[in-house]
Amino acid sequence: MSSSTTLIAVDLRKLQEAVGSKDEELKRQAIDHSSDAGDQTVWPIKLVFRKEGGLLLNGESVTPDELRTELKKTENHGVKLHCVELRKGSPQFKFALAGDYINVITDEMQAGTVAAWKWEEPDEAGDSDLLPLEQAISELIDGKLTVKDEDWTYQYGYALECIARTIGEHLATIEGDILLTHLKLKTPLSRRRKPVKLPRSDDVPEISYMTPEEVQSENARLQGIDLALSTDEETETSRREYADAVARAAAVGNAIVAFGY
């Protein structure tokens, strides 16, 4: 599965003040931006691995071949696959793009290990642990986070992205390693840190940021770096895209917040 990093220019103080502001208009606008964030809150495909063996696809029993055929359909490209699992034990796969999930699931199916996975349908209490993105946005703006389970707290990271998109400007989404390590530019954005306090999460998005002062310094530093890479045209393009994003943020005195998936 390919990775990417989204860069958003933002007034850092305004972003920090948004958390706990209880601003209802900001909440509405941020929810409107939720479709632009890296995560999605609607999973058209629900897959259940029963502890006694076998698969349920949207409530219907299917064979591995039938599942593979369904996931390869054009209309399912890029949608979210909601996989239900036990709270403890392997495997840890829960959510993924349907197209990418083929490689994770079907290869294991061919190995004949499905029955050993011990996955099962959860009860109603298990279902309630899911944190919809709209709820995460509302809670972050209200300053009252209710979910502590690290299986779901990643949604607060996506909520922060929605807020940043609302009050800031999308600069670029750069394909490659999460948080731009593939650019080999020693960018400060490769260091994981959060501009606001968020609960610990064991899932993406990975978050980093540069203050306005750091953006200015980074812009000046990049002016003295040769961005050309004769051996890797694609990475060179990404390096130039990153430098352009930094220059644009520096020109208006903004910070940059990065979200990597």
Summarised one tens digit per residue, pLDDT across range 65-91 is 777 777 667 666 555 555 544 333 333
The average pLDDT across 41-51 equals 55
Average of pLDDT values for 6-34? 95
pLDDT at res. 117: 38
The reported pLDDT for the residue numbered 96 is 39
**What pLDDT is recorded for position 3?**
81
Number of H helices, E strands in the chain: 9, 9
SS3 26: helix
Rounded to two decimals, the pTM is 0.68
- The residue with greater pLDDT, 29 or 76, is 29
Domain ranges of the chain: 4-39+132-260, 45-127
**Quick one: CA dihedral 214, 217, 223, 224, positive or negative?**
negative
pLDDT digit string (tens) for 120-139? 333 333 343 467 888 999 99
Average pLDDT over residues 234-246: 95
Reduced to 3 states, what is the DSSP secondary structure of residue 4? strand
Per-residue confidence band for 33, with pLDDT thresholds at 50, 70 and 90: confident
CATH fold for the domain made of 4-39+132-260: Hypothetical protein yfbM fold (3.40.1760)
Distance of alpha carbon 160 from alpha carbon 16, whole angstroms: 10
